[in-house]
């Protein structure tokens, strides 16, 4: 049973789309995505430097575009997805790519919608100096207590051993100076305190756009970062697409519960987890938190043949 998962912000690297442009149709895909995002994603994916693509307004649509290029190299049509994939999920901005995997959004509309989110979140981050730090290890209860005591928010709960704290820079420094026992606090190279109340202005700007955005009902199950629960496909679920858009809005100011998504995937009996490009992070989390589940991250175009064999092995 196969799950397709989509990585989040921070997975981008300079030049990551260059090799993909050798595939037939990718240049045209990227031109369509660029028009939807009002960004030159070909340039950002080939020649822009690390600092340029670190900008939230660029990083988010770039990552979603990269995921969808790898998706269509493996599953050209919705019928291909339905024939092979049981469930899709995405981490933070990866939820937009996952929504396209599940057929709620078209590929181009996913990139177009996330470009609005990215711009609003970049503006919110610029308004107040904030950041994020990963807390790795420690006892979960003590980690959450330390985050709260420092005046921070648990923005990403990735697993029992990895929580991302977010908030103002003084509070992050306070957490680092008072790290929980047997835990490491590592600053992340991000522009702001995403998935916290610091993003309220982005939420408020994004909400009316998402409310009017075209959305279809899912063709396969789609997990939510809100609580790990699935939006399921089926004739009795008309209108679910709009519910998905509501949760995409909700997640701007609320924590990403990837730990719960992993629990749901395990409970569903997933045997294989295929991470779309630029893959790696979610496969690493699966290695530590999903024993018995095989995983394959697509890090480059060279991984496609292995991915095809992996899909065949784990097809539902």
Active-site positions?
92, 195
Cα–Cα distance, 78 to 56 (Å, whole number):
29
Q: How many residues does the chain have?
A: 316
The strand pair at 130-137 and 183-187 is best described as: antiparallel
Side by side, the strands of the sheet bearing 153-159 are 153-159, 162-168, 130-137, 183-187
Listed in sequence order, the residues at least 6 apart from 128 whose beta carbon sits closer than 8 Å to its beta carbon are 168, 192, 198
Cα–Cα distance, 190 to 198 (Å, whole number):
14
């Amino acid at each position: 049973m196969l799950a397709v998962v989509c990585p989040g912000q921070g997975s981008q690297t300079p030049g990551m789309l260059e090799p993909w442009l050798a595939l037939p149709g990718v240049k045209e895909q990227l031109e369509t995505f660029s028009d939807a995002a009002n960004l030159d994603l070909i340039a950002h994916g080939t020649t822009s430097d690390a600092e340029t693509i670190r900008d939230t307004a660029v990083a988010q649509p770039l990552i979603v575009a990269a995921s969808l290029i790898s998706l269509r190299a493996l599953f050209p049509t919705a019928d291909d997805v339905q024939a092979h994939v049981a469930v899709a999920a995405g981490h933070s901005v990866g939820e937009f790519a996952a929504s396209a995997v599940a057929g709620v959004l078209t590929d181009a509309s996913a990139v177009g919608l996330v470009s609005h989110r990215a711009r609003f979140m970049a503006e919110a981050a610029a308004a107040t100096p904030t950041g994020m730090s990963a807390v790795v290890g420690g006892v979960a209860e003590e980690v959450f207590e330390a985050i709260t005591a420092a005046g921070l928010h648990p923005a990403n709960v990735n697993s029992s051993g990895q929580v991302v704290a977010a908030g103002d820079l003084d509070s992050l420094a306070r957490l680092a100076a008072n790290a929980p026992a047997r835990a490491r606090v590592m600053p992340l190279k991000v522009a702001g305190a995403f998935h916290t109340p610091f993003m309220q202005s982005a939420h408020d700007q994004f909400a009316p756009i998402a409310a009017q955005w075209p959305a279809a009902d899912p063709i396969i199950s789609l997990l939510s970062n809100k609580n790990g629960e699935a939006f399921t496909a089926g004739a009795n679920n008309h209108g679910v697409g709009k519910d998905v858009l509501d949760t995409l809005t909700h997640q701007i100011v609320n924590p990403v519960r990837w730990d719960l998504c992993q629990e749901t995937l395990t409970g569903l009996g997933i045997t294989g987890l295929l991470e779309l490009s630029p893959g790696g992070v979610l496969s690493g989390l699966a290695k530590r938190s999903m024993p018995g589940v095989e995983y394959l991250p697509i890090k480059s175009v060279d991984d496609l043949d292995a991915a095809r064999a992996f899909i065949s092995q784990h097809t539902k």
